[in-house]
Amino acid sequence: MRYLPKSPADREAMLKAIGARSIDDLFAPIPAEYRLNRDLKVPRQMAESEIVDWFRERSRETADGYVNFLGAGAYYHYRPVIIDSLISRGEFLTAYTPYQAEISQGTLQSIFEFQSMICELTGMEVANASVYDGSTAAAEGVMMASRLTGRHSVAIARSVHPEYREVLATYAHHQGMPLVTVPFADSGRLDLKQLEKSITPDTACVLLQSPNFFGTIEDVVAIADIAHKHGALLVVSIAEAVSLGIIEPPRQADIIAMEAQSFGVPLGFGGPYCGVIATREQYVRQMPGRLVGQTADRNGKRGFVLTLATREQHIRREKATSNICTNQALIALMANIFMTIYGKVGLRELAKQNLAKAAYAAQQFGKHGKVLFSGAPRFNEFVVQTGEDPDAINSRLLEHKIVGGLPLKKFYPELGNAALWCCTEMTTRTAIDTAAGLVAGGERSVKSAKEPAVIQEVVR
């Protein structure tokens, strides 16, 4: 087998040195009744070309070459090519966790830069070296707030990503943390009056997403006031990291739990992604996940180390801030390189393009469908309500190799025939016009099937 670097002669020599007659001797500790004496029923060994062919077929079967209007927590942005050139270097790709600092300065310094840039972008004072993803980051952020306040209940905005809320429910269930869901108002933003009513003396935190699941930017200042007034913390989840280029970060938050996938991480059918937790310095000892700190060696030379390890599982065991061991180092490195490439000016320009594309698309879709939540600013996603069922619309779009917006009936049935559309810098005007046209075609048919409505018709 070509990954195994031993010749039959090597094996023989080694067995002799050990004093074993055959390799079976070394497996004698396994009781005979359990030892397998048959082959595993897995596919036969393939040549490299066969492996590539097999996966190429699978790739073809997976929307290869389609235009995509989906967002909802996973965003299609351009990935500058040097990201893969650099992360593919064996010294990054095949390196271990940097516990031995002297021979891991490459990894450690990159993480330090990553932490620094996340702080710059989020307005927080400290950030960790990444956690699994945005959904678990939100759950960890909430549990962190609970530890900090000594309180147990959580008020969650319903405009937080539904799957994030599901994850939180799973985590909270066993920590004795009651969850209260707070509805959104007609603006698409969290209903402030309902929020006031939902907070109790046992509320550890308010969990908010901004831009929220609908793409709408929340009134973070007002929500922070309400939370803090009641002694609760504010945890803000950010699913679309590129928004930080043009949208003021939630500086009033106590904890930010974000997803950095938009920063140069492939969509990859849902993972691996890159969660990050950022917070104020005073809370750092309650923050889960690895942290890299700057220090000096014996000769005064600057270097970096994993630090504050006593929060972690390998030392605290059952009293750890979390059970997390692995982080997302390689993915965080992709995000690091992306943030470095775009930088201070590029991230803003990139975000502006996203804003412009979505604004144009909303306008186009709005001619025949109803764009909801237009009373508040939004970033690169918007919700369109149509007469036609979004599933039917999407079937039609698929024939043109377009993947349409996410139908929301499953998550927000009260919104009826609504779908969540996303446009990034990768979405072309042609694609938008085509999609809008195909939606329009359906709407015209739907409308003509009903009595003449009061809805304006655009005649072009």
* Residue (127 or 199) nearer to another protein, CB: 127
- Among 63, 453, 455, 458, indicate the residue that binds another protein (CB under 8 A): 63
Assess contact for 288 and 360: CB atoms under 8 A.
no
* Residue (199 or 263) nearer to another protein, CB: 263
Q: How many residues interact with another protein (rule CB under 8 A)? A: 199
Residue list 437-456, contact with another protein (CB under 8 A): none
Residue 243 CB burial class (10 angstroms; 0-12, 13-18, ≥19): buried
* 413 near another protein, judged by CB under 8 A: no
Assess contact for 381 and 420: CB atoms under 8 A.
yes
Residue 184, SS3 per DSSP: strand
Q: Which residues have C-beta within 8 Å of that of residue 364, sequence separation ≥ 6? A: 432, 433, 436
* Residue (65 or 201) nearer to another protein, CB: 65
Closest CB 368 distance from another protein, rounded Å: 18
* 237 near another protein, judged by CB under 8 A: no
- Among 179, 185, 192, 267, indicate the residue that binds another protein (CB under 8 A): 267
Binding segment for another protein among 186-194, 197-205, 311-319, 446-454 (CB under 8 A)? 311-319
Residue 333 CB burial class (10 angstroms; 0-12, 13-18, ≥19): buried
* 8 near another protein, judged by CB under 8 A: no
* 129 near another protein, judged by CB under 8 A: yes
* 412 near another protein, judged by CB under 8 A: no
* 90-119 footprint of another protein as x/- string (CB under 8 A): xxxxxxxxx-xxxxxxxx-xxxxx-xxx-x
- Among 8, 19, 150, 413, indicate the residue that binds another protein (CB under 8 A): 19
- Among 21, 301, 450, 460, indicate the residue that binds another protein (CB under 8 A): 301
- Among 8, 65, 150, 452, indicate the residue that binds another protein (CB under 8 A): 65
* 134 near another protein, judged by CB under 8 A: yes
Residue 116 CB burial class (10 angstroms; 0-12, 13-18, ≥19): middle
Residue list 201-220, contact with another protein (CB under 8 A): 217
Assess contact for 87 and 93: CB atoms under 8 A.
yes
Alpha helices (runs of H) in 384-428, residue ranges in sequence order: 390-399
For residue 309, which amino acid is it?
Answer: A
Residue list 66-95, contact with another protein (CB under 8 A): 66, 68, 70, 72-74, 76, 80, 82, 84-95
* Residue (35 or 229) nearer to another protein, CB: 35
Residue list 185-204, contact with another protein (CB under 8 A): none
Assess contact for 76 and 424: CB atoms under 8 A.
yes
* Residue (269 or 449) nearer to another protein, CB: 269
* 366-385 footprint of another protein as x/- string (CB under 8 A): -----------x--------
DSSP symbols for 203-245 = EEEEEEESS-TTSBPP-HHHHHHHHHHTT-EEEEEES-GGGGG
* 282 near another protein, judged by CB under 8 A: no
Closest CB 174 distance from another protein, rounded Å: 4
* Residue 303 φ/ψ, nearest 5 degrees: -155, 175
Closest CB 343 distance from another protein, rounded Å: 5
Distances (CA, A) of 137 to 131, 260, 264, 327, 339: 6, 11, 19, 11, 20
* Residue (356 or 458) nearer to another protein, CB: 356
Closest CB 290 distance from another protein, rounded Å: 7
Q: CA angle, 422 as apex, 116 and 57 as ends, to 5°?
A: 95
- Among 192, 346, 389, 409, indicate the residue that binds another protein (CB under 8 A): 346
* 142 near another protein, judged by CB under 8 A: no
**CA-based nearest residue to 106, from 120, 125, 89, 85:** 89
**CA-based nearest residue to 207, from 262, 144, 123:** 144
Does an H or E element contain 276, and which? strand 275-279
d(CA 278, CA 284): 9
Closest CB 258 distance from another protein, rounded Å: 13
* 12 near another protein, judged by CB under 8 A: no
- Among 186, 200, 398, 458, indicate the residue that binds another protein (CB under 8 A): 398
Place of tokens 């893969």: 84
Residue list 143-162, contact with another protein (CB under 8 A): 161
Distances (CA, A) of 284 to 126, 224, 237, 255: 7, 20, 18, 10
Closest CB 237 distance from another protein, rounded Å: 11
Residue list 321-340, contact with another protein (CB under 8 A): 322-331, 333, 337, 339-340
